[in-house]
């Protein structure tokens, strides 16, 4: 089946949806997601979304981002994010995202690891979910956006050095060809490739595979962040994240004898490494997170989702030490893009976790991911709006249609795509071989 659009967006997280909402309503848009709409990491995000509170906070934000990233960040990107954070956050607020406020209606801010001050907006401990649901409500108002759920992308369609569509299939194994003048890859992370991850299991780095197959630049595929505090459950592939905000509000990390062993608000990579070192030292697969000094009533409201989830697992956050371990959490590498989200292939953009902007350096600062998705989603949309002058689709070279195979082996292509991403990671991170689902 062939379908024609002006813009094709692969991914339904904050980057993909926000891109769609900022593209001109005159353009026909397809949003494709390989699961249900909510099967994205945005939906799982707990802690919050970073903002730059005022002019005085700008330099502090830049310094904190560089410090967390080991000064391996792209300074141009960091400054751009700092400069454009406020305008995009204000859009979310105007859409009605239910960020926490005080009794006078003022926005409240929390603090997480490596932030020197409180600058993180939050909606209890389900910030990503509330942002996602708000964006979905906005999208329902847009008649130019069509959603295709449970469609797996197999390949890009490329003609004469231009991206002009994507090849995929639906849950009934029907082959689908989406044709469009612009393609945006916002396919999320790579957690589904790992034996244990905080990510949705359907996220397997398909964007990197597509880029690699077509010679599109990729960068820093070995830059993979492990979150310090995921609930220790040896039976679960998707580990339940316990937000860094808990440590920002006073929770402590302890060994099995109850001793603290690390400053809980150091950058994530430092805290995660300390946890792994302590586990090895004491011969335990976990250490403890201790929030028992925080008031029970406060925990039940501020961290409602975490509290209830842990209660189902047999732990009372207000009374019990919680067994935690590190878990794969975020992909800081990805498809190389410029400041407008453009890749090295004409007509192809990338944004969100699958894109490499250079913002994060070797370690992402907490809650900068949602902000990056917003800022670059908006910049991708603005670039597309500038470049598409005629809403009528191009007439693509008929040869490209003839080049597409008539009999497509879905399983073979999917395995090739998965192997492409894993092989790229293992070229530079052989130490992760036991963590990846290589078979």
The alpha-carbon radius of gyration of the chain (Å, integer) is 21
Active-site residue, from 247, 268, 302, 364: 268
Catalytic-residue membership of 268: yes
Tell me, letter by letter, the H, E, C secondary structure of the chain. CEEEEEEEEECCCHHHHHHHHHCCCCCCEEEECCCCCCCCHHHHCCCCEECCCCHHHHHHHHHHHHHHCCCCCCHHHHHHHHHHHHHHHHHHHHHCCCCCECCCCCECEECCCCCCCCCEECCCCCHHHHHHHHHHHHHHCCCCEEEECCCEEEEEEEECCEEEEEEEECCCCCEEEEEEEEEEECCCCCHHHECCECCCCCCCCHHHHHHHHCCCCEECCCCEEEEEEEECCCCCCECCECCHHHHHCCCEEECCCCCECCCCCCCHHHHHHHHHHHHHHHCCCCEEEECCCCCHHHHHHHCHHHHHHHHHCCCCCCCCCEEEEEEEEEECCEEECCCCCECCCECEEECHHHEECCCCCCCCCCCHHHHHHHHHHHHHHHHHHHHCCCCCCCCCCHHHHHHCCCCCCHHHHHHHHHHHHHHHHHHHCHHHCCCECCC
**Which residues fall within 8 angstroms of residue 105, CB to CB, at 6 or more apart?**
none
Category of 279 on φ-ψ map: left (φ > 0), alpha (ψ -120 to 50) or beta: alpha
Distance CA 374, CA 85 (A): 8
**Catalytic residue list:** 268
């Amino acid at each position: 089946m062939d379908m024609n659009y002006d813009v094709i967006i692969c991914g339904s997280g904050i980057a993909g949806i926000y891109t769609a909402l900022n593209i001109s309503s005159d353009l026909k848009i397809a949003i494709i997601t390989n699961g249900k709409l909510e099967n994205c990491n945005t939906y799982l995000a707990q802690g919050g979304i970073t903002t730059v509170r005022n002019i005085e906070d700008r330099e502090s934000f830049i310094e904190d981002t560089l410090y967390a990233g080991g000064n391996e960040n792209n300074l141009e990107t960091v400054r751009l994010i700092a400069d454009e954070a406020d305008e995009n956050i204000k859009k979310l607020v105007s859409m009605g995202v239910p960020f926490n406020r005080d009794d006078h209606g003022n926005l409240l801010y929390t603090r997480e690891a490596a932030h020197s001050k409180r600058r993180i907006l939050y909606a209890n401990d389900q910030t990503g979910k509330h942002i996602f649901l708000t964006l979905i409500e906005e999208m329902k108002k847009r008649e130019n956006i069509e959603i295709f759920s449970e469609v797996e992308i197999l390949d890009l369609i490329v003609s004469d050095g231009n991206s002009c569509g994507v090849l995929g299939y639906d849950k009934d194994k029907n082959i689908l060809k989406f044709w469009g003048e612009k393609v945006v890859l916002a396919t999320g992370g790579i957690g589904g490739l790992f034996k244990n991850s905080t990510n949705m299991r359907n996220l397997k780095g398909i964007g990197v595979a597509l880029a690699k197959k077509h010679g599109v630049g990729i960068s820093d595929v070995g830059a993979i962040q492990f979150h310090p505090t995921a609930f220790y459950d040896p039976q679960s592939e998707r580990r339940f994240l316990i937000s860094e905000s808990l440590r920002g509000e006073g929770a402590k990390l302890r060994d099995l004898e109850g001793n603290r062993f690390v400053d809980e608000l150091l950058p994530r990579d430092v805290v995660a490494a300390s946890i792994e070192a302590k586990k090895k030292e004491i011969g335990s697969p976990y250490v403890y997170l201790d929030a028992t000094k925080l008031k029970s009533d406060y925990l039940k409201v501020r961290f409602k989702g975490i509290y209830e989830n842990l209660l189902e697992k047999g732990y009372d956050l207000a009374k019990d030490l919680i067994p935690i371990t590190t878990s794969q959490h975020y992909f800081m590498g990805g498809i190389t893009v410029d400041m407008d989200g453009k890749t090295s292939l004409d007509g192809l953009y990338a944004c969100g976790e699958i894109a490499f902007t250079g913002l994060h350096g070797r370690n992402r600062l907490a809650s900068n991911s949602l902000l990056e998705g917003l800022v670059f989603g908006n910049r991708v949309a603005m670039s597309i709006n500038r470049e598409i002058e005629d809403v009528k689709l191009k007439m693509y070279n008929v040869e490209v249609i003839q080049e597409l195979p008539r009999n497509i082996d879905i399983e073979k292509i999917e395995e090739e795509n998965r192997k492409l991403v894993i092989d790229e990671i293992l070229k530079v991170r052989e130490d992760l071989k036991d963590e990846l689902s290589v078979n």
